[in-house]
Structure formats: C-alpha cells, structure tokens
Amino acid sequence: MKRIMLYNHGGCENRGCEAIIRSTSALFGGRARISLASDQPQLDRKAGLGDVDRIISSEIAPYSLRRFINSIGFRLGIPREQEVARKHGTVIDLGRASDVCLSVGGDTYCYNHQEHLQVINGRLRRAGKPLVLWGCSVDPERLEGVTLEDLRAYDLIVARESITEAAMREKGLPVMRWCDPAFTLKSEELPLPPGWIEGKTVGLNVSPLILAKAKDAEKALDAFAALVRHILDSTDCAVALVPHVVWTHDSDLDALRAIKARFENEPRVFLLPGTLNAMQVKGYIKRLCALVTGRTHASIAAYSTCVPTLVIGYSVKARGIARDLFGDEAGHLIPVQELRSGQELIDAFDALIARGQEESEYLRKRIPAYTAGREEIISAILALAK
C-alpha cells in the first residue's frame, strides 16, 4: 500500500481546509496510508479525520532539541535555509518516508511567497520524492519569479479551475484540472436549530478576510446588514449566519456576531455554532433555500448540494469555479472590491431568488459531470509513487 503525506495544511478550524483533508483522504479509498502534517495537530485529532492514519505537527516542538539547536544556530548565523528546514523537520522527515507528497494548501500561491514551502519542497525534491500541488488556484500574474520557480518543483499540479489551468499551461507547468475535492465531501445532518424555517432559511457567510478586501470594510458590513434587513422586511424567510473559518486570527464569528448584534432581538436571525465540523456545516447548508457567502468553500458546500448561491468573492478560485460551473461568473459572483452599496447586494440577491428553482435544477444535472474524472486523477497520483 502506498504511503501519502498531506502537508501545507492550516488546520481544521478552517472548514475548507478540513473539507479538503476529509475528501482527499476518502478519495484514495484504502489504496494508500494517509499521513497529515498539520499546523493544528491536536485540534485535528479531536476532529476525527477517519481516513487519516497519522497526524503530526508541521513544526518541531517548542522545547525540542531541534528547536534549541535552531536557536543556537540562529545566533551563530547559520544559513536561513537550514534554519527553516530544521523548523519544519517533522514534515521533511515524514515526506522522506512517504511515496508521494501532496501539498494541500490550495490557496498558498495566491498570497505572499511562502519561504517554508519552498524549503520543504527543495529538501523533498532532493530526496527524490514525487510532489503534487493538489486542488490549487493561482492568480496568473503571480506566475513569475520565486513562485514560478517553486511551482516547477512539482511533478504534478492539479488545478481546481480553468483560469489557473490555462495560466499554468502557458508557463509549461505539468498541470491537470479537476474540481476542488471538497465537492465530494459527505454531509452530516444534525437537528435543525430554533429559528430555522424549513424551506425558507437563507444562509449568510461573512468573513474578516472579505471585509479586508473591500474598499471600505464598514460600508461592506453595512451592505450585508442591509441585505438581512431586506430579507426580514420583504420575505418570511429566516437568516442563518454560517461561520466557515474560526481561526483566532481570522474568524468568521467576529463579522457574523457584529451582524447579529444589529438584529439582537430578531429570532429569525440566528448564528450557527462555530464548533460544527465541515460535514455538519455542509449538512446545514444543503437545507438552505439560498446562500450568500464570502468563503469559497461554503459556496462549494452549496453548489455540490444544489443550493442557489451568490458569492461575494475576491479570488481567482471563486471566479474560476463560478465560470466553470455556469459558463460565466456574472450573476453568480460580485467582486467584493466592487461592492459599494447594500442595494447592489439586495438586487443580486433578489435575482438569485428569482432564478432559484432553475439554478437548483441546473446544478443537479451539472454537478455529476463536473465532479467526474476522480479515478483518472487519483491514478495519476498513485502512478508517481516509486
């Protein structure tokens, strides 16, 4: 049985990261032993990742010998590459003992250069280990310099949408395309909470990240609050506030609690718990009549369960997924950088509700074809094992 390491995982407090780990490990279906290098190993163990055989920390322990040697070496001026390699020695050691290494942080190359990942990849490459960048999105303009250099270290890149795929092909990178693995995540249906109206509950996800990308964070938050007021005044629907990331440094609960505070005495507006796992969140999302979301993986939970969805996006992954599903992101996605008023959001929501039944039917027909091809992808990864 092949040994596969999943690394570059931020932890299950990001339900999108969790969804990728759960769905990816399930896709190998007993054909491989799965090990996970995590930034939050203790929390991930508590989450109960059933198809993962082993979980380790992405960094050496704070009071370990390696950490002590690193501290001394830093003072003596050892090369930076050695310092980073020793800090992430647990990942490098596990990767060297594995047959294939999958970098599962699909958004990694959307942001600033990740020095630690380049060092890890370099060490594993020199050890002769096949590297796969799994379910990724990358802004085309970032495909240059050190980012392009690091991407060339991978034996296979699996892009989750066509914008990234086309840009990578142009650069001569070894890329295939398949949907984000979270589309295949199973859902778990818990009892409906007080305030939920069956068939008439709209989901709303707002994140600090999406507010930070807006031209004016306060005005953006006002726009979401105006949407909630519109739903309460013009429909008999309830509004479920849906947290999808609860990292302490980037928690949806902060933004959603700020919205709930504006409707403190309104029982039709309620906040789902931040303790739900990715399958449980998906179980609630699939029973919504519509979803408005800033987190792309919340939209993936909705698309894959045929729930009409409006994404307030900022990234290439949101644009690419909407384009691949519907042929055009127009009407399905509002770039948060262009969100200027509550009325704009209200108009887009009303249009979503108007076409809701049609969109649900479309997704029921589209999703099976969109998620097909998993065996080809898994076989290509397993074929890399030496």
Residue 200: half-sphere exposure toward Cβ, Cα within 13 Å: 10
| DSSP code string of 94-126 | HHHTSSEEEE--TTGGGSS--HHHHHHHHHHHH
Average pLDDT over residues 320-329: 96
Please give the class, per CATH, of domain 201-370. Answer: alpha beta
Is the separation of the CB atoms in 147 and 117 below 8 Å? no
Mean confidence (pLDDT) of the chain: 93
Q: Where are the domains of the chain?
A: 2-179+371-382, 201-370
What is residue 281's predicted lDDT score, i.e. its pLDDT? 98
- Residue ranges of alpha helices (H) inside the chain are 15-27, 41-47, 65-76, 80-87, 89-96, 115-126, 145-151, 162-170, 208-213, 217-234, 252-262, 278-285, 296-303, 316-326, 342-354, 356-370, 374-382
Asked if the model's pLDDT at residue 297 lies above 60, the reply is yes
At a CB cut-off of 8 Å and minimum separation 6, what does 315 contact?
Answer: 107, 110, 137, 139, 296
List the Cα angle 274/112/163 in 5-degree steps: 85
d(CA 133, CA 157): 5
Asked if the model's pLDDT at residue 35 lies above 80, the reply is yes
Query: Torsions phi, psi of 266, nearest 5?
Result: -105, 105
d(CA 99, CA 49): 21
- For residue 23, name the pLDDT band (cuts at 50, 70, 90): very high
- For residue 111, name the pLDDT band (cuts at 50, 70, 90): confident
- The lowest-confidence range among 75-79, 140-144, 210-214, 316-320 is 75-79
What is residue 20's predicted lDDT score, i.e. its pLDDT? 98
Q: Express as a percent the part of the chain with pLDDT over 90.
A: 85
d(CA 51, CA 327): 34
For the entire predicted model, the pTM comes to 0.94
List the Cα angle 378/21/193 in 5-degree steps: 130
d(CA 78, CA 236): 65
140-160 core/surface letters (b: 16 or more CB in 10 A; e: else) = eebbeeebbebbebbbbbbbb
Q: Express as a percent the part of the chain with pLDDT over 70.
A: 95
pLDDT digits (tens, 9 = 90+) for 265-285: 999 999 999 999 999 999 999
* Fold agreement between 2-179+371-382 and 201-370: yes
- The lowest-confidence range among 214-223, 355-364, 367-376 is 214-223
Q: What is the CATH number of domain 2-179+371-382?
A: 3.40.50.11720
Q: Look up residue 345 and give its amino acid.
A: L
d(CA 191, CA 198): 11
Asked if the model's pLDDT at residue 61 lies above 90, the reply is no
Average pLDDT over residues 293-308: 98
330-351 core/surface letters (b: 16 or more CB in 10 A; e: else) = eebbbbbeebeebeebbebbee
What is residue 76's predicted lDDT score, i.e. its pLDDT? 55
d(CA 204, CA 35): 34
Average pLDDT over residues 197-218: 94
Q: What would you measure as the largest C-alpha separation in the chain, in angstroms?
A: 67
Is the separation of the CB atoms in 137 and 121 below 8 Å? no
Asked if the model's pLDDT at residue 63 lies above 80, the reply is no
Q: What's the length of the chain?
A: 386
Is the separation of the CB atoms in 307 and 189 below 8 Å? no
Asked if the model's pLDDT at residue 67 lies above 90, the reply is no
Asked if the model's pLDDT at residue 386 lies above 80, the reply is no
